[in-house]
Amino acid sequence: MLQENTFDSVSVLTARDFVRSPSWKCIFDWEDEISALLGLPLDRLTKPSKLSRLLCDPKTFNYALPLLRRILNKSDNNIAIVYLMAPENVRFLLKSNKRFIPIFIDTPTSSYNSLRRLGGVFPIYYVISHESYERLSIYNQNVRFLPFSVPEIWKQDAVPDKQLDVLQIGRKNPLLHKWMLRMASENGIEYVYQRIEDGILNYWSTKRGLIGDFRDREKYIDLLRSARVSLVSTGGIDGSRKDFDINPVTVRFFESAVNYCYMIGRYPRESKDFEYTRMSEIVIRVDEEESFRKRLIDCLDKPFDLKKEYDSVISSNATRHIALVIERDLEKCFEKPSSVTK
**28, pLDDT greater than 60:** yes
pLDDT tier for residue 335 given thresholds of 50, 70 and 90: low
pLDDT tier for residue 196 given thresholds of 50, 70 and 90: confident
**3, pLDDT greater than 50:** no
Q: What is the pTM of this model?
A: 0.92
Q: How far is CA 305 from the centre of its chain?
A: 26
Whether the CB-CB separation of 9 and 342 falls below 8 Å is answered with no
Neighbours of 199 (CB within 10 A): 5
**What confidence score (pLDDT) does residue 334 get?**
62
Burial 247-256 (b: 16+ CB within 10 A, else e): bbbbbbbbbb
pLDDT tier for residue 225 given thresholds of 50, 70 and 90: very high
Q: How much is the mean pLDDT over the chain?
A: 91
What are the chain's domains?
Answer: 10-149+318-334 (3.40.50), 154-316 (3.40.50.2000)
**55, pLDDT greater than 90:** no
Q: How far is CA 56 from CA 18, 37, 49, 67, 278, in A?
A: 17, 32, 11, 11, 36
β pairing state of 283-285 and 262-266 = parallel
Least confident of 23-27, 57-61, 259-263, 313-317: 57-61
**270, pLDDT greater than 50:** yes
**What confidence score (pLDDT) does residue 1 get?**
36
